[in-house]
Structures are given as C-alpha cells and as structure tokens.
Amino acid sequence: MYAAGLLNYSEHPMKVIIDTDAGVDDAVALFLALAAHKDPKCPFEIIGITCVLGNTGVDNVCRNVFTVLDSTGVSNIPVFRGADTPLVQPFIRGESPFFGVDGFGGVHSLPNIPVVKQERTLEKESAPLALVRLAREFQGELTVVALGPCTNLGIAINIDPNFVKNVKELYIMGGNSHGVGNIRPCVEFNFFVDPESAFVVLSAAWNQKIVMVPLETCKLAMSSMEWRKQVLGTIKSSCSISLKKGLLQRFEKDYGSWCSCDAVCMAVLLKPSIISKSSTNYCTVELQGAHTRGQVVVDHPQKTGKPHNVTIIEQIQLAELERMLLSTFHPSTFI
C-alpha cells in the first residue's frame, strides 16, 4: 500500500471551486482534492464548494458534502447551496438513481458512521452568486471544477458577462466525445440533466479554457472489481465512508468494473502528467434530438470551421489514478 503524502502534484498554485452534485462518485473526487488542499507541500487551495442538483436533490448534495468534509476534518471551506432545478426543462429523476435516492447509497442511515460531526452551516450566498463573486475577487486565478450538471455555471455566465473572462480555467466531468452515453444510449448523465446549461457553458467565450473529461475517457479508466474490492476496498480510513455502500453491485451488474468519473477529472487537474492522450476540438450540445438531447456534438471532421473551444482528455494512466486513490484513502491522510 502506498503511504500518504507521496504524490507529486502539479506545482502551480491553484485556487479552486468545486461545483458538485455529490454523489458517491463526487465524494471520491472530493477526497482527492481535499488531500491536496490539506497537504502543506501542495499549493492547491479549495476556496469554495458549490452544490447543484444531479445525482440527488441539492439539499441532499449539501448534506453529502458536509459528510465528506466531516470525514476529513477540514473545516475552512465554505459550502454554497445552488440550483435545484435545471435552467429550462424540469429533470424527472428515475426511480432507481445510480447512487441511490440520497446520492450516497443510503450511507447516512448506517449506524456508527466513522466521522466526527462538526457544526457546519451553509453560506447564505447562493452558489451562482458565489461563483461570480469569487471569480471576480480572484480574477485570472480561479479554477472551477464542475462535477455535476452545469446549472450553477450557466446561471453565473448569464448574470455576469465577465464571469468567463475572470475564470482562469474550467474543468468539466461530463458529456461525451464519441456519442457513447450512460443514462441514454448517446447521452451522459450530467449533460442529460441540464442540456441547456451545458450549451450555455460550451457556447461562452472561454478561449480554449475548457478542459472536458467525457464519459468515454472514464470508461477507459475503469478498475477491476478485484482491485476495487480487495485493494481499495480493504482500506480502513475515514474516507471509506463514501465507499461503505458504494453500490458496487450496480457497477458489477452494469459494467463489471469500477470507476469514479469525477475522480478521473480531479486527477487530471491535480496531476496533469496523468494524461496520456488529449486533443482539441469544437464542441457544442444537441438540444433538440429525440434520442440525443444533451449529447455533445464534436466536430470530428472539422466541418463547422469554428475555432476549437474544448480540450478533450481522451486517455489517462489508470495505474497512476489507482496510486493516487490508494494514497488518498490511506488512514494517515486525514487525521
């Protein structure tokens, strides 16, 4: 097993907002980020966590974020409640959400959750307004990582014409690069929940500041169930809470392997050397299709003549991601 604190993070100072619909999937990514935030040798500072609907309703998301923070003992990160409905069309949640009704596989109902509860309260400011304000305060320095539907970001873009200019870079876990979906044949979940906000985000003038980790890339970075159960799954630490009922049966049934897509995105930000293949292209979002509403349309044949607006991460080194996860989940990481 790898010890904590041995990661060679990116050396560039980073101020980061994580926009999340936590989510077991998001919890794993949050642990990666919080390990970096807590590491004095790593110039990675989370200045806010903004919550959005997605895996579950936004109130459950806020509670899940608090549970993650309690698991790490980190207390200096403000949490903002954001949108609970998409920009335009309502999202009708299915009866069997992938990560359970509360987004955490019912972990809150388990006895003896191994965390120290802290008194935590949500910030009074809403998530989109916090995004706008912090982007202004840290103009040119702020990295936003979007791990859920893009609703908070779409609102922020619509209320401040300078928001996009003020943000240094935007990392998105979501969408697809070759039309492979999960919740629909051609549509990835985050973009399915709120296609209009994804469209607003991809249509804004980011000048190539968007880095997208699409679903297909995550599917190439799946760990074997054996590794997930016998290696990562046997670690006993405060982080294990998020994996306690990590809905492995669902992964086993649907994929036969395991992945946290959000962790892939976070690992790409934390350690760019993990990227083994990437490309740039012009990307937009289909809003009309009977089967494809929410699909990312990538100009593979270069037919539009439009400038490339997205860096697409196509492949990462799975062994390195697994190493990062083992280090993060090590019992000594969060004491």
Residue ranges binding Ca ion (CB under 5 A)? 21, 23, 26, 147-148, 262
Between residues 56 and 327, which has the closer beta carbon with respect to Ca ion? 56
Rounded CA-CA distance 53/150 in Å is: 9
Please say whether the dihedral angle defined by the alpha carbons of residues 279, 33, 22 and 150, taken in this order, is positive or negative.
negative
Helices 24-38, 58-72: crossing angle, 10 deg rounding: 40
Contacts of 301 (CB under 8 A, 6+ apart): none
Q: What is the DSSP string of 114-176?
A: S---------SS-HHHHHHHHHHHTTTTEEEEE-S-SHHHHHHHHH-TTHHHHEEEEEEE---
CA 281 to chain centroid, in Å, comes to: 21
CB of 155 to Ca ion, least distance (A): 18
Residues in the chain: 335
- From the CB of 63, what's the least distance to Ca ion, in Å? 15
| Beta carbon nearer to Ca ion, 191 or 282 | 191
Residue closer to Ca ion (CB basis): 127 or 147: 147
* Residue with smaller CB distance to Ca ion, 44 or 191: 191
Q: Looking at beta carbons only, is 136 or 184 nearer to Ca ion?
A: 184
Residues in Cβ contact with 187 at an 8 Å cutoff, skipping those fewer than 6 apart: 176, 181, 292, 293, 294, 295
Report the nearest approach of Ca ion to the CB of residue 307 (Å).
29
Write down the least CB distance from residue 190 to Ca ion, Å: 6
| Minimum CB–partner distance for residue 116 and Ca ion (Å) | 25
Give whichever of 4 and 265 is closer to Ca ion, judged by the CB atom. Answer: 265
Dihedral through CA 51, CA 217, CA 177, CA 296, nearest 10? Answer: -20
Identity of the residue, 4 or 285, whose beta carbon is nearer to Ca ion in the bound complex: 285
Q: Cβ 83 to Ca ion, closest distance in Å?
A: 14
Q: Which residue has the tokens 């809470």?
A: 241
Q: Are 150 and 194 in contact (CB under 8 A)?
A: yes
- Min. distance of Cβ 171 from Ca ion in angstroms? 12
- Peptide bond preceding 23: is omega within 30 degrees of 0, i.e. cis? yes
